[in-house]
Amino acid sequence: MEYHKYSLTKKGKSICPACKDKRKTFVLYIDNTTGEPLHSSVGKCDRADKCGHHYSPKQYFQDNHISFDTVRNDTPYRKPLPMPQPAPSYIGADIFKKSLQGYETNALVRYLCRIVGDEAAKKTIGKYFIGTSKNGGTVFWQIDGYGKIHTGKIIMYGKDGHRRKDVMPPVQWVHSLLKLQDFTLSQCFFGEHLLKDTAKPIAIVESEKTAVIASCYLPAFTWLACGGSEGLSPDKCKYLKGREVILYPDSGMYDKWNFKASQLRAICKSVSVSNLIEEQATEVERGAGFDLADYLIRFPLSEIIKENRQGNIEPSSELQIPPTPKQDGQSPAYVSDAGILYIPTPPDGRTSYTTYPSVEAYNKRSILPEIIPIQSVDVSGMKQVFINLNTLTI
């Protein structure tokens, strides 16, 4: 088979330089080795009768005094093999450890202390290994399940907990500031190191700050941040295999994340998408990028935090918990006469209940649940229902 180095492309046309027909009739020559056009002027007008303009590669090389190889090549073209991907690079532990201090200058840490209290803030800072940069910025370290540090995302916050708009660029990266040579970035979820706790379902948000705040108020979930609306990449999400996942998109991102959920269902045990923010946010808030953290901090949550702490107490022997029939793919829950849904959390350990005002509210995820200690309610006389673990619905 004769191999031609150049041929007319079969994809797309442009405006002919001769007849200038606006219908785009000019077919370019491409280099079959690279797939790229030889030049914007080299091609053939497909209006053979009314135009017939044809500027061949040979003419182009002659006009520009470029050597044109006319030797026949009988070797068929083979697409080049993809280049091997370089191994991921990581940040050294010494750099990481140096950032775990200076919290008195970290505006987000001070803000977190104000809204959840010093004890809960200290616990959360330690859990996520939140760091402080030299200029007082907050460092969100991306640490994988093996303890390897992929990079750190640095954001400057104001006293109100919002990003400072007077600082540019708004986001900086540790690996860039360190000017590490030949650094190959491979991002992971913020909070990915927490996935070793397999008892909890996983909740994913965009913002690292939102994941930190939500983990204080709703500790029944393992909270991760993907870093943006496009952050649910296949490379990151492969570590969610076999897990129960709930997505909490920012305002305006529900449809996009609903589509992402359809892709994740191929690898996750179950995936659902909360429409809480879409239903609760006003038009103004949607335009401002309203997210779960903005919703959470509206409420005085000191009592909820107190109850969450009490949830660590072992279940009382006086409580009569109904026996749970073992059913594949299902988990028990209980409904009171008032319609309130009580979900044992975690399903095996049972240190607390995750409650919703109704089964419908749970199925739609339109309202944030409340976490209560297991000692605070007796479910022995309640109706027993079962959660489908594939769809996370009743």
Tens-digit pLDDT profile for residues 173-207: 999 999 998 899 999 999 999 999 888 999 999 99
Give the highest mean pLDDT range of 30-34, 181-185, 299-303: 181-185
Tell how far CA 48 is from the center of its chain. Answer: 52
Helices (H), the chain: 57-63, 93-98, 107-116, 118-128, 174-177, 208-217, 234-237, 254-264, 276-280, 283-287, 292-296, 302-310, 359-364
Determine the residue type at 138.
Answer: T
Direct distance between the N- and C-terminal alpha carbons of the chain, in angstroms, rounded to an integer: 63
* 8-state DSSP, 164: P
Crossing angle for the helix pair 107-116 and 208-217, to the nearest 10 degrees: 20
Segment 7-18 shows an average pLDDT of 86
Return the domain boundaries, the chain. Answer: 6-63, 93-296, 313-388
SS3 state at 210: helix
pLDDT at 81: 61
Give the highest mean pLDDT range of 32-36, 167-171, 348-352: 167-171
pLDDT at 78: 57
pTM for the structure as a whole: 0.61
pLDDT at 148: 95
SS3 state at 163: strand
Query: How far apart are alpha carbons 42 and 63 in whole angstroms?
Result: 12
Segment 155-166 shows an average pLDDT of 92
pLDDT at 300: 58
Segment 284-305 shows an average pLDDT of 73
293, 280 contact by CB (below 8 A) = no
Q: Which residue has the higher pLDDT, 374 or 200?
A: 200
- Closest C-alpha among 55, 52, 49, 50 to residue 8: 55
Residue 311 binned pLDDT confidence (cut-offs 50, 70, 90) = very low
**For residue range 63-89, what is the model confidence (pLDDT) as tens digits?**
887 775 543 444 455 555 666 778 999
- The residues, any chain, with a CB within 8 Å of residue 34's CB and separated by 6 or more, are none
Locate tokens 């027909």: which residue?
21
pLDDT at 281: 77
